[in-house]
Amino acid sequence: MPAITRSAAFILGAGLLASLPALAQEPRYNQISLRAEVNQQVPRDLMIVTLYSEEQNADPGKLANTISDTMNKALAQAREVKGITLRQGSRNSYPVYDDKGQKITGWRERAELRLESADFPALSKLTGELLQTLKMGGMDFSIADATRKQSEDALLKEAVAAFKARAQLATDALGGKTYKVVNLNLNSAGYPQPYARGAMMMKASRADAAPVTPDVEAGTSEVSINADGTIEVVMP
């Protein structure tokens, strides 16, 4: 039994020693780290409008009914316009105190309505109409998901091509005959969160005039794809 154990141990030890060269990392030479970046201007093609209703009343029940009635009418009106995505935002109420801050004299409630659309004229017109009963919370512009994916796919191809061009330049500068890509990382940057606008440009109007259509200009955002990687130049 002891002889068999020693023999097995010897064979196992020999096997481990034989595998050590395979486990050792193969040395690499003539490695170069490179970076390439491509960018383009992408239009902000998604318009986001936040409207709200805010009221105050001594009776919290009546206050809630008033806010609900206003928001329900706004929702019904907005649903009649095609291409508009509706989202109900936050709704909250809080007590209003007297000058001494000790006694509750009433309640104040606020409810938000968020509208999104790629049809700027339609949403601008609807916004002007809803501003007859609601208040403006903000107007933002962003890049729609479909536009984001399309631009990112195109930039990925350009980034890889730019990286390959730099890799070939580096290879030629070293006098190599070709190169191998050791690793390559692609990262996007510049896709913005919704772009907050300041106060909208409003045309002057009388109280009895038709609803005002806000003037909008979404603009563009510069987006980019970075290609960072390492190549190994193969010498003649």
SS3 category, 39: strand
pLDDT tens digit sequence for 13-47: 444 444 445 545 566 678 999 999 999 888 899 99
Q: Which residues contact 2 (CB under 8 A, 6 or more apart)?
A: none
pLDDT tens digit sequence for 188-233: 876 555 444 443 443 333 444 556 666 666 788 888 999 999 999 9
Please give the DSSP secondary-structure letter assigned to residue 201: B
pLDDT tens digit sequence for 109-141: 999 999 999 999 999 999 999 999 999 999 999
Q: How would residue 58 be classed by pLDDT, with cut points 50, 70 and 90?
A: very high
Q: Which residue has the higher pLDDT, 18 or 163?
A: 163
